[in-house]
Amino acid sequence: MMGDYSGGPVPAGMVGKVPASAADLPTADFFDFESLLSVQEQRKLNELRSFLASEIAPYAGQWWDKAEFPEHILPKLAALRLSAPAQRGYTHLFAGLVIAEMTRVDTSIATFFMVHHDLFVESLYDFGSDAQQDKYLDDASNLRTTGAFALTEPEHGSDVAGGMQTTARRVERAASDGGDYWVINGAKRWIGNGTFCDYMLVWAKDESDGAVRAFIVDASLPGIIRSRIENKIALRTVQNADILFEDVHVAESDRFGGISSFADTNHLLRGSRIMVAWQAVGQQLAAFDVARQYAVERLQFGKPLARFQLIQQHLVDMLGNAVASMGMMVRIAQLQEGISRDAQGALHGGADMAQVALAKAYCSARMRESVALGRSILGGNGIVTDYKIAKIFADAEAIFTYEGSYEINSLIVGRAVTGVSAIV
């Protein structure tokens, strides 16, 4: 069964004791979806839990309050050998539960992991040339270097496919002078890990034909200006950046040869959208953990909050949302197992974008309901980060929006079920 990270020191004002039978209470994995994992995967998930409980849970609130990223934990995180789990032979269900468990403890750390491993590292696996994999993959997989995924722009989020303004111009040069290179100009926004990453996967429109290209860009190159986005109310530990590119020179050897149009990004975006839906699951597990513990410990009118019928109803509604969301994501993971490559190396199968969009929209909507109910259970204590639910509540707003907002994902599904697009 899934672990419970709501323990630890009880803040001042939380009186009463957990019942002696608390250890036997069911967790938010009420239907025991985790039992679908292999024994090896269950052991690995428990290893991750131990790491999260000792290295992340005690400090996550401090990092969030200070908007600081704990780079010192990266060697320990790398030692778990969980980079791109499906590439290591684990099931997609295990990969999803890894993200859910990380999110259950700290959404910001889970987001770092997703950006680096599920976007940057997975991109190298799926679209990098042999030479690019040899050059970058080992260091990236083991977090000796960190990566970012630079797609979103200041004026283009959901419509970036057609509205991309960052450009790339190819310059021919003799091999004796280093060979052809590209000149990149433009701006990107909301780039996770963008302030400190070593490399970025940058998307730009080819000036010659309008095709979307992708480049592995050394973040230290001349002409790159990075600035942290300040004053966030969610994912404060994540270092999101505004990035400017002013005549940045990138070698042709660092152009992603496997990317020839924006359509080639669908596999990557579909995969990252799935992981954000798993984050929505993890947020619900976290909210349930915290709210349930508070309800059984907090005394009002001489008895625990858990004795009040409306509080029990809130907890049951939260549990139902979590179980329904997990059930949907388990099915998505099963569909992902059908991904294969054809003779030309192209990827086929798996959950289609409409199915993924429905999962992301549905799970994030249930998450929003659940974290609000959890915050309500904690009353006034629910608005300070000392009691954890405030951080969970705030981080949920980012999940509700990124990797396709609720509205955009709904319209993707609407197009699929009606045959008529309401987007363009």
Residue 344 has a pLDDT of 53
pLDDT score, position 8: 41
pLDDT of the residue at 3: 45
Q: So where are the chain's domains?
A: 22-104+265-418, 148-260
Render pLDDT for 355-378 as a digit per residue (tens, 0 to 9): 999 999 999 999 999 999 999 999
Where would I find the H helices in 144-233? 160-163
Find all residues with CB under 8 Å of 418, minimum gap 6, and list them. none
Of 172-186, 235-249, 403-417, which one has max mean pLDDT? 235-249
Q: In this structure, what token pair is assigned to residue 297?
A: 């410990």
Count other Cβ atoms within 10 Å, centred on residue 286. Answer: 32
Cα 285 from Cα 49, distance rounded (Å):
14
Average pLDDT over residues 292-316: 95
Least confident of 156-165, 211-220, 257-266: 257-266
Arithmetic mean of pLDDT over the chain:
90
Strands (DSSP E) contained in 99-198 are 147-150, 167-171, 181-191
**Please, which pLDDT band fits residue 118 given cuts at 50, 70 and 90?**
confident
Judge contact between 99 and 45, C-beta under 8 A.
no
Q: How far apart are CA 227 and CA 385, in angstroms?
A: 26
User: Looking at the predicted structure, is the pLDDT value of residue 339 above 80?
Assistant: no
Q: Please give the Cα distance from 278 to 276 (Å, whole number).
A: 5
**pLDDT of amino acid 156:** 83
pLDDT band, residue 23 (cuts 50/70/90): low
Q: Which helix (H) or strand (E) holds 49?
A: helix 39-51
- What sign results for the dihedral spanned by CA atoms 147, 197, 188, 182? negative
Q: In this structure, what token pair is assigned to residue 248?
A: 């940045």
Task: Give every CB contact of residue 310 below 8 A, 6+ residues apart in sequence.
Answer: none
Q: Where are the alpha helices (DSSP H) in 114-186?
A: 122-127, 130-141, 160-163
Q: Token pair for residue 137?
A: 């993959």
Q: What are phi and psi of 63, to 5 degrees?
A: -60, -40
The CATH number of the structural domain formed by 22-104+265-418 is 1.20.140.10
Backbone dihedral angles phi then psi of residue 114, each to the nearest 5 degrees: -65, -45
In degrees and rounded to multiples of 5, residue 330 shows phi and psi of: -60, -40
Question: If phi over 0 gives left and psi between -120 and 50 gives alpha, with beta otherwise, what is residue 283?
Answer: alpha
Which residues partner with 242 through β-bridges?
A: 227
The answer to whether residue 253 scores a pLDDT higher than 50 is yes
Residue 393: exposure state from Cβ atoms within 10 A (0-12, 13-18, ≥19): buried
The DSSP letter of residue 230 is: P
Q: 317 pLDDT exceeds 50?
A: yes
Exposed/middle/buried for residue 169 (C-beta within 10 Å: 0-12, 13-18, 19+): middle
Q: In terms of CATH, what superfamily is 148-260?
A: Butyryl-CoA Dehydrogenase, subunit A, domain 2 (2.40.110.10)
